[in-house]
Amino acid sequence: MGMRGVFSPRGRYSQAEPAPLAAPNLDRQRTILVAVDGYESSLRAAAYAIGLARRQASRLVVLYVHTSGPLASTPDSINAIRIANAEAVRAVRIEMDRQATALGVDIAVVERDGSPYVETVRLAGQLRVDAVVMGGGRSFGYQYLGSPATRLVRNARWPVTVIP
């Protein structure tokens, strides 16, 4: 057949009017998820996420995951960990309320029990977040098992920012 009719108006690759692109859903408010655990790197991640949410006029969801460490084997140690988690999340809530008022950012604090990685992925999927921000872990066990932030970067379906 040759190349003669390929680029002609009657050919297979003729200039056709392109179909209009579907308009993005602009009614949905953008959401940023930040996971905090009370340590310095996660608090820096929260500060970064607050600034990001303010600049992008996004909603910020702060996730605090209650965990029990491997040393929680007695009722007294389990109770002490629960009290420490409750105090930490209370401090996070107070600070997020203060930041929301001062900066005019819509901030919600969500508490979950379990694995920080699993709960971050689960909540991000439920909320259909636009970005996830996490602090980089420096725990001894993370050298062998991988930190939740590292695992999230490897496996996430969202943009992930890790703050050192």
Q: DSSP state, 157?
A: S
Six token digits for residue 162:
């890790």
Six token digits for residue 97:
């309320």
Q: Could you identify the residue written with the tokens 């969500």?
A: 110
Q: DSSP state, 25?
A: -
**Tens of pLDDT, residue by residue, the chain (164 residues):** 455 554 445 544 444 454 454 445 555 689 999 999 878 888 899 999 999 999 999 999 999 998 876 666 788 878 888 898 899 999 999 999 999 999 999 999 999 998 888 999 999 999 999 999 998 765 544 444 557 777 887 887 888 998 88
User: H helices within the chain, ranges in order?
Assistant: 40-56, 75-103, 116-127, 142-145, 148-155
pLDDT of residue 25: 52
CA separation for the pair 9, 27 (Å, rounded): 40
Strands, sheet with 160-163, edge to edge from the N-terminal-most edge strand: 107-113, 59-66, 31-36, 131-135, 160-163
Residues contacting 114, CB < 8 A, separation 6+: 65, 66, 67
What is the pTM (predicted TM-score) of this model? 0.75
